Each structure stands twice: as C-alpha cells, then as structure tokens.
Copies of this chain bind each other. A is one copy, B any other.
Amino acid sequence: MKLTIVGCHSASPRYDANPTAQILEVKGHLFLIDCGEGTQVQLRKFKIKFARIKHIFISHLHGDHFFGLVGLIATFKLLGREASLHVYGPKGIKQAILFQLKVGKTYTNFDLHFHELESDKPTVIFEDAILSITTIPLKHRVYTNGFLFKQKPGERLLNIQKAQELGIDPCYYQKAKQGFDVPDSNDNKVSNTTITFDPAPVKSYAYCSDTAYFDQIIPQISHVTLLYHEATFLQQHAELAQKTMHSTAQQAAMIAKKANVGTLLLGHYSGRYTDYNEFKLQAQEIFKQTLLAKDGKVLQL
C-alpha cells in the first residue's frame, strides 16, 4: 500500500493549501479518497495517472471534500476515458454531480456508477481478491463515512528447506501455500504448518475525516497499520472543535492510542494555523508515532 497526500488542508483551496484528497495505491489499483476543488491539478502535479483511478470515495458532502469531483469527471470525458468509474458517497452525490453535467449537456462516454451510502453501520462497499473496503461511520455535522482499506491475507509462505527435507513433490507446493496438508515422499500426510510460515502481516489503512472525537470507531480501526485522523484544531481551540464537530490533535491521538494503531497521520488543519508542527507535538504527548500529512507526502505502508 502506498498513500499519497494530494491535499491536506481544511476549508477552501488556497494558493499554497489544497483541500482534502488522497490516493491510496494497492497493488496497482488507485483509489481516490475525497476530492476537494483543484484535486485534478494536484493529481497532475504529483504525476498520478488519471486512467488508473477507477474508484472514488467521498466521505461527506462538504465542499472541501467533493467540489473537485465534477471537474475531474468532466476531464475524464475530455481525455476520452472508456473505463468505468465508480463513485461511493453519501446520498445526494449522484444528483449533485449529474445535474451539473446535464446543464452543460456533458455526457460521459464511459460508465459512471454512483454507489450512494446511507447506512450508519460499517458496510463493506468494495471487495476483490486483494482487499476489502468498509465504511467507518463518523460523527460530523452532515452524514459522513471514513473508509477502512484492508488487504486480504496473502498465501502462506513455503518453508522450502523443510519441504525438500521431507521430499515433498513440488507439484504440492501451491496446495501447501493455500493452507492444505500435503503428502511427503512416503505418502504420509504432513501438517501444513510444518512446511509453511504465516503469510506477511495484513496491511490496513483507516481514513477518518471529518469527525468529532468519536470512540465508537475504535473497535473497527483497532490495530490498523496506519490511521489518518483529522485534526482541524489545536488544544487551545477545543471548544471550537466541539462546536464544529471536528477534532483536536490530542483527540486524534487519543483515538490512535485506544485503537493501538501502528502510526497516526494528522491532517485537515484549520487555516488559522501557520505552524503545523504544533499539531504533532500536542498529539505526541499522547501517541508517539504521529506524522503530519503534507501535500505531496508519500507513505509506504
């Protein structure tokens, strides 16, 4: 998994601050998460291939998370895209996007599927052989979901030395990697765990923006490799965070700590701050392994 921060700020786009958008790459698949105004320009800046984006996830319908979507779709059309595009987002997104295209008689020449979300329970919205994507219902002023991207366990790893020692026919190796017991050279059954190791640990990414402090999400994001949690405010504006249903850096850190995540990534900083390092310092009082999102930052999970 590779995460690229396309835009890390809250509120309106500015010359040096792009609203929320991220690209998660999982074995060649590109998933776009949120799409504030100007996202398509940022994607070009970071040399992300438009054609490889087939799935877009919109957390909620505040402008800084979706005003760039219609322009991106219109650009896909201009570029002659043929591949289907799937958009997942709150109910209303389909009409908001399609009406804008319709008034300009802009009709896509590719299949455009909207998957509108309404449930307040975690829901699997995407699944293939490689990963599953589940909504993380959040607590904000409007209906909002985070998204949990979870790789599926790979095949078991063959202990080739042990397999050879036991004279196992290589034609059984694949079966062994799939977890089956297989026969040795004397046709005696060998327990699978004798000749295989556990697969590489499953990587997972939880995206949680925008939200007030909401500890109901903790069981669902427990032990994720990387948690992105919004931190719009510093501690001195905790009251404002409560009022606007956003989080402080310390609240994000508290969630990370209680969920025992690997790493916490903060973002969605309010425009009132100029020194983002303070977010990190405040969070690290509670959860040491904290990083700051920054436009263009790439994290390998």
Contacts and interface: CB of A to CB of B under 8 A. Distances in A.
11 contacts: A12-B74, A14-B41, A38-B38, A61-B100, A61-B103, A63-B71, A66-B104, A67-B74, A90-B103, A96-B99, A100-B100
Nearest to A65: B104
A17 to B, nearest CB: 9
A119 to B, nearest CB: 17
A154 interface: no
Interface in A100-149: 100, 103-106, 141-142
Contact of A103 (B15, B71, B92): B92
A104 B40 contact: no
Contacts of A141: 105
Interface of A: 11-15, 37-38, 40-41, 44-45, 60-63, 66-68, 70-71, 74-75, 78, 90, 92-93, 95-96, 99-100, 103-106, 141-142
Nearest to A76: B12
Contacts of A37: 37-38, 40, 68, 71
A100 B67 contact: yes
A61 B100 CA distance: 8
A12 B73 CA distance: 10
A89 to B, nearest CB: 10
Contacts of A61: 100, 103-104
A74 B11 CA distance: 9
A104 B74 contact: no
